[in-house]
Structure 1
Amino acid sequence: MRKPFRDNRDRRSRGKGVTTRHYKTYLLNKPYGYLSQFTSEGNHPGLKELLYVPKDVYSLGRLDRDSEGLLLLTNDPSLNQRILHPRNHIAKTYWCQVEGEFSDDAIRSFNLGVTFSIKGKAVTTLPAQVKRLDNVNLWERNPPVRFRANIPTSWIEATIREGKNRQVRRMCAAVGFPALLLVRWSIGPFDIDGLQSGDVMEMPHGEFLQKLSKYEI
């Protein structure tokens, strides 16, 4: 079921005849299988199947269809550069279930930077923070994750400050621990704590800007 928000239209300042824009900001816990755009493509549903928001709201960045977790939605174009520009190094933290017991060598590789190939070109990431996680308790995924019999799995928390294509998945594969499930837990000071899969929360825009400004200091 889609979660409705009333359309917040432009209002005119009393006595001045000037149109004042009221910006909107949302935190969405994107479920597995959904695109990071509002328009559906073929059998792949877009965000319009999940929620109603003003028509000018869009996703700040993207999250792969087979990944889950935090998407920031807004109609404030000034946030594009603040959130997305690589030079700002906004931290993005992921919880990832991998095949095998994530090793100390793999942790060291993440800490130093991992090299993998994108379209035949070798790419080395910036150093990333990573740690093992225990007792992870998340929502049930639909469809369930497919496991290989007799092969253990483990969970890690990885924090990166760049956004190469499918970066965390590529990093995990490069160090020998393929990702089975990937959830983006946070972007900068914003996270999905308390949001179930498919939940969306509107954050007052002033509060959003205040939290972002404190993070940027």
Structure 2
Amino acid sequence: MEDPVQHQYFVLNKPCGMVSQFISPDGDKVGLLGELDFSFPKGIHAIGRLDKDSEGLLLLTTDKRITRLLFESKTPHKRTYLVQVRRQVTEAALHQLQTGIEIIIEGGRVYTTPPCNVQVVSKPEALFADPFAYAAQIESSWLRITLTEGKFRQVRKMVAAAGHRCMRLIRVSIEDLHLDGLQPGAIREYTQEQYFSLLHLVDPETKCQAGL
């Protein structure tokens, strides 16, 4: 009997300007995950991708179950972002974001986002180096947004629909898996038990934490 496959599980603090791919479909070799100074195992891939201009927590694993259990599950999983937007956010705009706002999604359809947790917060004191430091004099606000869905560029579209341009977007956590001081470009490895427990992953067939 063959031994079960031993998968590996990582978190990367993805820097701004890097795409969430190891291979570009366009043949572009600049800004790919493979440029990181890390020896990745065969079969590694990113889950819950961040766009090129976004930063923060990105899941990397050889375990193909994670996508199904995390993003295709009937059980919603929380994702939290720190978002810097132009100008001061009014109470009216904040209410729109909290209670549901219309955005345009794939196919040009109008979609109303479900209620979510949005708070105006102070600029994070322990924030990593700002890639847009040149914009320091621009009036801005910081929001902490927690969603349980992730349509394409949803957070950016939400703040734009509320009348605010997104200046910086950082995913800081998925469920109880946090950046916890991980520097941009740095990678942290977890055991299977830690990964599944922190992400609150449950196997729908066994009703138990998957892999445990």
TM category (shorter chain) comes to 0.7 to 0.9
Residue by residue over 1:81-133, the C-alpha shift from the partner in whole angstroms, topping out at 9 and shown as x without a partner, is 11111632111100011001111112211121110123532111111111111
Residue 5 of structure 1 corresponds to which residue in structure 2? none
Aligned-residue CA RMSD in angstroms?
Answer: 2.2
Residue by residue over 1:32-81, the C-alpha shift from the partner in whole angstroms, topping out at 9 and shown as x without a partner, is 01110112453641101113210211111210000000001111122111
Q: Does 1:185 align with 2:169?
A: no
Distance 1:57 1:146, change over 3 A: same
**Gapped runs of 5+ residues in structure 2?**
203-207
Q: Which 4+ residue blocks in structure 1 deviate beyond 4 angstroms? A: 214-217
Contact in 1 for aligned 2:70/2:201 (Cα 8 Å): no
SS at 2:84's partner residue?
strand
Work out the CA distance in 1 between the residues paired with 2:163 and 2:136.
Answer: 15
Work out the CA distance in 1 between the residues paired with 2:58 and 2:93.
Answer: 28
Q: Does 1:85 align with 2:84?
A: no
* Higher alpha-carbon Rg: 1
TM-fit CA distance, 1:18: 1.3
Distance 1:44 1:167, change over 3 A: farther
TM-score by length of 2: 0.86
TM-score by length of 1: 0.84
The counterpart of 1:42, out of the listed 6, 28, 40, is: 28
Distance 1:176 1:86, change over 3 A: farther
Matched residues, number: 199
Aligned AA (1:37)? Q
**Gapped runs of 5+ residues in structure 1?**
1-16
Work out the CA distance in 2 between the residues paired with 1:97 and 1:69.
Answer: 14
Contact in 1 for aligned 2:23/2:29 (Cα 8 Å): no
Aligned AA (1:46)? L
User: Percent identity, aligned pairs only?
Assistant: 34
Aligned AA (2:95)? R
